[in-house]
Structure 1
Amino acid sequence: MYPRLEVNIQKIKENTKLLVEKCRKENIEVAAVTKVYCALPEVVEALEDTGIKYIADSRIQNLKKLKHINLPKVLLRIPMMSEIEELVQYVDISLNSEIEVIKKIDQEARKINKVQNIALMVDLGDLREGYFKEEELFECVSQVLNLKNINLIGLGTNLTCYGAIIPSRENTQRLASLSREIENRFNIKLSFVSGGNSSSLHLIDKEDMPKEITNLRLGEAIALGRETAYGDKIKGAHQDAFKLVCEIVELKEKPSLPIGEIGMDAFGNKPVYEDRGIRKRAIIGIGKQDINVCGIIPLDTKIDILGASSDHLILDVTESDIEYKVGDKVEFNLEYGGLMAAATSEYVTKIFV
């Protein structure tokens, strides 16, 4: 069935083991982030014996289907009030930034006689989630320590995902300093100090990672073999563990400039075209409902992606050395956005190789 996402589980395992060892040398434990491929159980099950410490995902729906995996589950997205009843059943650690939500977790955990682990998020300047003002963070800690069914295990931060702020020695050191101050001020021990995601890996290479950091949450680094601060390939890692394969449904020579008055396309945009004369155009059976067009890269480097509608992707194959025919397959490597969309789409078949 096409289009399909081909998943090389062995390459993902090898990437994971490589990163676990890289982090282990710095006394850092790895939380494998599974959200980009929708926590496909076939993949996550293969990661159990790679040395990862946690499974992490942004959606409780994904963590629910991984309940048979004997590793602590971390909920990455700060919890919604409406999902806390499920949270206390299926999540071992949640990342939080609102005391009212934490109090609600405490109430629900008390109902099932469970102590729920949490980490408090700190905003180091990326301006997504987390406490920005230190005094508010300390006040939250003070209140949390009075909740009988909440166990504060640490702090976390997130960088590059919204504001694109790159992790540095300076900003991660602030997280480290806050963890020490909380330990001293409240006489507690924080075992989980999560210094970010795949964008923090470069700090290990530069020997700039503060020693207080005990955890990294790695998603793209495992799935695509790239760090995400600068987009560099990780030495020794695979970048092609996921591949998108699509089928050609039409192949014709046509003008490159549409004929007639140009209005809005199906998505409300007014496109601009370049007149390149008559070109050989292939249409493949996938579209914007299935993928992020900007997040796929043809393996045939002489193919140009012209655009897409909901259901069709239009390619210029004029310069290709391959004599494509209707029914032939076109393969793509994936960037993060392309993988996330293809994995999420129920119209893209998943194949494990």
Structure 2
Amino acid sequence: MYPRLEIDINKLKHNASVLSKKCKEKGIETAVVTKVYCAFPEVVKYLKDSGIKYIADSRIKNLKKLRDINISKILIRIPMITEVEEVVKYADISLNSEFEVIKKLDEKARILNEKHKIALMVDLGDLREGYFKEEELFKVVEKVLKLKNIELIGLGTNLTCYGAVIPSKENLGRLCSLAKEIENKFNIKLSFISGGNSSSLHLLDKGEMPEKVTNLRLGEAIALGRETAFGEVIEGTYQDVFKLVCEIIELKEKPSIPIGEIGVDAFGNKPYYEDRGIRKRAIVGIGKQDINVDGVIPMDTKIDILGASSDHLILDVTDSDKEYKVGDKIEFNLEYGGLMAASTSEYVAKVFKYGDEKELAYNV
């Protein structure tokens, strides 16, 4: 069935093992962030014995799917008040930045006779979630420590995702300094200091990761084999764990400029076209409703993506060395946004590959 997303389980597990080992050498535990491939249980169950300590996801719905997999789970998006019961049931740890939500978690944990662990998020300048003012953070710590069914285990931060602020020895050092100050002020021990995501990995290579950081939340680094501060490939990892495969549904020679007055396309954009004469154009059966077109890259480097509508991706195959025909398959590498969209789309079949035996499992 096409289009389909092929996932090489062994390569993904290899990447997780490489990153877990890299972090453990510096005393850091790894949380694998599974949201980019929707936490498919068929995938996650093979990751849990690759040296990682946690599975992390931003959707409680995804963690719920993983309830039978025996590994600690972290909810990395701030919980909604309306979902606190499920957070207590399906997440061992949640990241928080609002005391009103934490109180509700405590109330629900008491009813369920559970002890729920939390880390407080600190905004180090990326201006996404977290406490920005130190005095506010300390006041919340004081209040949280009075709750009977909440266990404060540490602090966390997020960088690069919104403000594109790159993690540094200085900003993560501030996170660690705050943790030390909290430990001294309240006479407690914080075991979980989460120093961000895949963009923090470059600090390991430079020897600049603060010693008090005990956790990194790694998604793209494991899925695509790249750190995200500078987009560098991580040595020893695979970049082709995921592959999008589409089928050619039309193949014709046509002009490179539409004929007639140009208005706006179906998405309200006015396109620009370059006159390259008559070109051989292939249409594959996938479109903007299925994927993020900007996040897919043809493996055949002599194919150009011309554009897309809701249901069609239009390619220029004129310069390719292969003589394509209708029904042939074209393969694409995926960037993070392309992978996320393809994983989420119900119109893209999911094919899980488990090694040399070529065993396939379908999730449509």
Shorter-normalised TM range: over 0.9
Alpha-carbon distance in structure 2 between the residues aligned to 1:32 and 1:184: 31
Residue 281 of structure 2 corresponds to 281
Counterparts of residues 147-226 of structure 1 (less than 5 Å): 147-226=147-226
Residue 4 of structure 1 corresponds to 4
Q: CA deviation at 1:268?
A: 1.1
SS in 2 for 1:213: coil
Alpha-carbon displacement from aligned partner over 1:56-75 (angstroms, at most 9, x marks no partner): 00001000010011111100
TM-score under structure 1 length normalisation: 0.99
Residue 102 of structure 1 corresponds to 102
Equivalent AA in structure 2 for residue 14 of structure 1: H
Q: CA deviation at 1:76?
A: 0.6
SS in 1 for 2:268: coil
Q: CA deviation at 1:263?
A: 1.2
Alpha-carbon distance in structure 1 between the residues aligned to 2:147 and 2:239: 45
> How many percent of aligned residue pairs carry the same amino acid?
75
Alpha-carbon displacement from aligned partner over 1:237-271 (angstroms, at most 9, x marks no partner): 00000000000000001111111111111111111
Give unmatched runs, 5+ long, in structure 2.
354-364
SS in 1 for 2:45: helix
Following superposition, which runs of at least 4 residues in structure 1 exceed 2 angstroms of deviation?
none
Q: CA deviation at 1:287?
A: 0.4
Q: CA deviation at 1:349?
A: 0.6
Residue 67 of structure 1 corresponds to 67
Alpha-carbon distance in structure 1 between the residues aligned to 2:344 and 2:25: 34
Is the aligned partner of 1:269 residue 2:269? yes
SS in 2 for 1:46: coil
Is the aligned partner of 1:58 residue 2:58? yes
TM-score under structure 2 length normalisation: 0.96
SS in 1 for 2:193: strand
Question: What RMSD in Å do the two structures reach over aligned CA positions?
Answer: 0.6
Alpha-carbon distance in structure 2 between the residues aligned to 1:36 and 1:284: 24
Alpha-carbon displacement from aligned partner over 1:302-351 (angstroms, at most 9, x marks no partner): 00001001100000011111100000000001110000000000111111
Alpha-carbon distance in structure 2 between the residues aligned to 1:106 and 1:7: 39
Alpha-carbon distance in structure 1 between the residues aligned to 2:4 and 2:113: 44
Counterparts of residues 1-353 of structure 1 (less than 5 Å): 1-353=1-353
Alpha-carbon distance in structure 2 between the residues aligned to 1:48 and 1:24: 15
Q: CA deviation at 1:352?
A: 1.2
Give unmatched runs, 5+ long, in structure 1.
none
Q: CA deviation at 1:227?
A: 0.4
Alpha-carbon displacement from aligned partner over 1:66-124 (angstroms, at most 9, x marks no partner): 00111111001001111111111111100000011101111111111111100000001
SS in 1 for 2:159: coil
Alpha-carbon distance in structure 1 between the residues aligned to 2:51 and 2:321: 44
Alpha-carbon distance in structure 2 between the residues aligned to 1:270 and 1:83: 42
